[in-house]
Structure formats: structure tokens, C-alpha cells
Amino acid sequence: MFKKCMGGMSVLSALVMIGAVADAAPKERLTFTKDIMPIFQENCVRCHRAGGDNISGMVAPMSLETFQEVRPWAKAIAKVVSSKKMPPWFADEKTHGVFSNERGLTDQEIGVVVSWTQTGAVRGNPKDAPAPVIFQSSNGWLTGEPDLIVRMPEPYFVADDVEDLYVDFVTEPLTDEQLPETVWLRSIEWRGDSDVVHHIVGAASIDGEKGESGLPTRYSLGSIAPGEEGTNYPEGYGLLLRKGSRIHFNMHYHKEPGAGSGQFDQSMVGFRFWDKNKDPEITHPVERSKIMNTSFEIPPGQPNWEVGASKTFNVGTTILSLHPHMHMRGKDAEYIAFYPDGTQETLVTVPNYDFNWQLDYFYNEPKRVPAGTRVEFTVHYDNSADNEYNPDHTIPMGWGNPTTSEMMIGYISYTNTEPLAPSEGPNDF
Ligand code: HEC
């Protein structure tokens, strides 16, 4: 409607008209300083500012702190907030309020932003503006200043001809100076050192330790993929990092190959520790597992191919977070809990999975499930030409390391529901 009556008008008369409309209803007129800034401070500027959150390579392209910065983007902003593309969040609305890292505007806030852009996107009185947000500097660490930073043993050159490359690095055992004693981790944050890092899967190992299979044991220390932040554990929860551990960096580099595209990388991980003397005891050691299926094949051209996998918990378990992982044909993902009494509950549905924003859905209130609960992880792939990210819709596709192949992993972080008693010794090493 609005667009239609603008047709053929000069810019000047259009502006006059907007002015007239606004004057007729002065109370309704929304302004940047009064109505928009508070919404943006709460929902946008954490990423949209100079030096904003770098979520494993996803860096917001512009700052949205001041009127001058925002005004040229008004039209684009109306579009991305009404389509709910921004702020980025991918779980469906049924889990509204369930996850601590949820982002989103209310319908009312979307309405305010859109009508502000449609009524001239004016500045308003500078006196109405809220105080600017002060961001705590943590040298770019989203989880806070680390107690220990461990880097890959040396810089690695990701050569010009590389498109996808999987390569493992392992450090020397941590020295007494780096880690004088075994600790419980309160946060873990893997950080790419260059923009060719696609993801990092991290682990620790102790020399000489072998699992049942005879292979060296590796303890998962989480991972980071595009769009994912670091992990903070609540009080009483932690992941063990043992004295003398080696740290493994399972790197996936991805870039457009070509002359001059090569880059050095020396990615790192930042750990924060619980303080044995000051912080509450650890009663919930955290584990992270993969619910996965590696033996699927998506036929060429298939727009909606389903693949499933499941895991059963034999003791009462508390789930901390869920994290679907697929590659470019990934379309949607869902975790459903099937309880021993025959009922079921959807834990999370991600209807529009986006390869660039792979989030850990972290519970506000950790989710308790009784012994015997089976968690099913179900995903769909779009291997058709309609999927704009599909690198090749003419071939069947199954499990494989390169981003151009597929993966099917439902990460799940969890712990025992019954707290370990101090006598069980989780805090004595
Ligand atoms: C978690 C970090 C984050 C938050 C929060 C966030 N953005 Fe973004 N935004 C990004 C990144 C990264 C991009 C560029 C990549 C993309 O488009 O996915 C982007 C892109 C955009 C674009 C498109 C720019 C273009 O080139 O077309 C607009 C407009 C935008 N954001 C507005 C907003 C607004 C308005 C909010 C708050 C309501 C917001 N964003 C919240 C990270 C964020």
C-alpha cells in the first residue's frame, strides 16, 4: 500500500507526506533514541559493534550503536527483524524460555522496529537515549578471561590449494606451570585464530591410558563450529581436566582455494577453573556424547530425506545442552525423549537448520530424565537443486569429513541427576 502511493512521487513530496502523517499523530511517532535504542542495546549491539562478539568467525558486518550507524540500514533491519533472521536463533517457538542462550524479539518489539522504519526512521530527542552499554573487556573471550590458554603447538599454514582439510594437532603434556593440579573446568572456549577455521573438535588425553578397544582414551572437551559460543557450566557442574593432559585440536579448515588464499593458523582454547577453596563442590561431572548415524545415503535430488539415531540413558540423567550438527544439506533437526512410562516429549525442534549458525541449545533449568529414557535424534536433508547451499544435487551423499559431504551428530551434554556425595570423592584427586 505504502509503496504504491509512493509510485511516481518525487523524494521531496514523499518526505513531506511522511512528515504530514507523523504530525497528524505526534504521540504515535516512534523515535530511535526512545523506542529503538533500548531494543537494540538488549538484542543487537553485543554483536553489532566494533569488536563485537566473534562467534567462531561469524562477525556482524556493521555497528548498530548510534543513530548515524543505524539509519542507513533501516530498510535492511525492517526486513531481517520481521523475517526473524536477526537476532539469529533457530529453535522453534515451542521452546521459548527454555534455553539460556535464546535470542529473539517479541512480536511487539518487531512491530515497533518495523513501524519506526516506516514512519521516517527519525532520531528523536538525544535526551531520551538510554546510557550506552559498557562492554566488559575480556580480550574477546565470550566466557570470560581464561585461567589457562593453550594453543596449537605451532602455527600451521593452510595452503593456497586447500578447500577442506582435516588435520589433528596435539600438545606436549601440560606442564606443572600451566596446570599444577587436576581441576574442574567451569568454562571452555575454543577459538579459531584465522577465518579459515571451520570447526574445532577438542579433547584431552593422558599418556599411557587406553580404552577397552586398546586405543588411547580421549576425553571430549567439546567443540566449536560456526555460530557456536563457548560453554559455561553452572555451579556444582564441571568437566575434569587432569594434570599432565595433552590437548588435542582436531581442526577442520575450509576456504575458497586460490592463489594468495593461504593463511597461518594457531588456534587456541581458553579454560576457566572452579576454585577448590572458594567455589561449591562438584557434584555433577559433565559428559558429552554423540547421538550419531554414520551409515546413511541421501539419494540425489531428494528434498526431505530422514535419518535417525538414538541413545538410552540407564540412570537418571540431567541434560545440560543439545547441539545438532549436519553440513550443507542439513534441513531440520529434532530431539525427542521417550520416557519409560510410554510418554514422549520434544526437547527441541530446529525447523530451519542453518549450517552457519550451529548452536548449543543450553537449558536454563537442566532437563531431568528418568533412568530408561531413550533420546531420539532425527534430521532431514535436502539434496535437491532447491537447496541453495547444496554443492551437488546430482550425486548420492553419505557420511564424510568434508563440508561437501554430510554428517549426522546430535551432541548431548549431560550428567548424573543424583548428586555425587562428597564421600564418593569427586573432589579428591
Ligand atoms: C549473535 C550475534 C548477532 C546478533 C545478536 C545480531 N546480529 Fe545481525 N548479524 C550478525 C552477523 C554475524 C551478520 C552477518 C552474517 C549473516 O547475515 O548471517 C548479521 C547481519 C545482519 C544484517 C544484514 C546485513 C547485510 O549485510 O545485509 C542486519 C540488517 C542485521 N544483522 C541486523 C541486526 C539487528 C537489528 C539485530 C538485533 C535485533 C541483530 N542484527 C542481532 C550477528 C548478529
Q: Tens of pLDDT along 149-203?
A: 999 999 999 999 998 888 889 999 999 999 999 999 999 988 888 878 888 888 8
Residues 106 and 171 in one domain: no
Q: Indicate which CATH number applies to the domain containing 241.
A: 2.60.120.230
CA distance 307 to 333: 10
329-360 confidence digits (pLDDT tens)? 999 999 999 999 999 999 999 999 988 787 88
Pocket test for ligand 1, best of 39, 44, 102 (most atoms within 8 A of CB): 44
Residues 108 and 157 in one domain: no
The range of the structural domain enclosing residue 361 comes to 287-416
Comparing 299 with 281, which gets the higher pLDDT?
299
Pocket (CB within 6 angstroms of ligand 1): 40, 43-44, 46-48, 53, 55, 58-61, 64, 73, 76-77, 80-81, 86-88, 103, 105
Q: How many CB atoms lie within 10 A of CB 351?
A: 13
Pocket test for ligand 1, best of 47, 55, 356 (most atoms within 8 A of CB): 47
38-76 confidence digits (pLDDT tens)? 999 999 998 898 777 666 556 788 999 999 999 999 999
234-279 confidence digits (pLDDT tens)? 899 998 899 999 999 988 888 889 999 999 999 999 999 999 889 9
The helix or strand, by DSSP H or E, that contains position 38, with its residue range, turns out to be helix 37-43
Residues 73 and 96 in one domain: yes
152-161 confidence digits (pLDDT tens)? 999 999 999 9
The number of the ligand 1 atom at minimal distance from the alpha carbon of 53 is 2
**Contact criterion met (CB below 8 Å) for 166 and 240:** no
Q: How many CB atoms lie within 10 A of CB 423?
A: 7
Q: Is the pLDDT of residue 395 over 90?
A: yes
Residues 184 and 255 in one domain: yes
36 Cβ contact partners less than 8 Å away, ≥ 6 residues apart:
30, 70, 112, 113, 116
**Contact criterion met (CB below 8 Å) for 270 and 225:** no
**Contact criterion met (CB below 8 Å) for 256 and 198:** no
Mean pLDDT for the stretch of residues 387-410 = 91
**Contact criterion met (CB below 8 Å) for 198 and 358:** no
Residues 152 and 270 in one domain: yes
107-133 confidence digits (pLDDT tens)? 999 999 999 999 999 999 999 999 988
Q: Is residue 272 part of a domain?
A: yes
Buried b / exposed e along 169-186 (16+ C-beta atoms within 10 A): bbbebbeeebbeeebbbb
Residues 352 and 395 in one domain: yes
Residues 95 and 116 in one domain: yes
pLDDT band at 303 (very low <50, low <70, confident <90, very high): very high
What domain count does the chain have?
3
Instruction: Write down the pTM of the prediction.
Output: 0.80
User: Which three three-digit cell numbers place residue 73?
Assistant: 540500514
Q: What is the pLDDT of residue 426?
A: 52
pLDDT band at 25 (very low <50, low <70, confident <90, very high): very low
Q: What is the pLDDT of residue 225?
A: 62
User: Which three three-digit cell numbers place residue 405?
Assistant: 559431504
Residues 112 and 197 in one domain: no
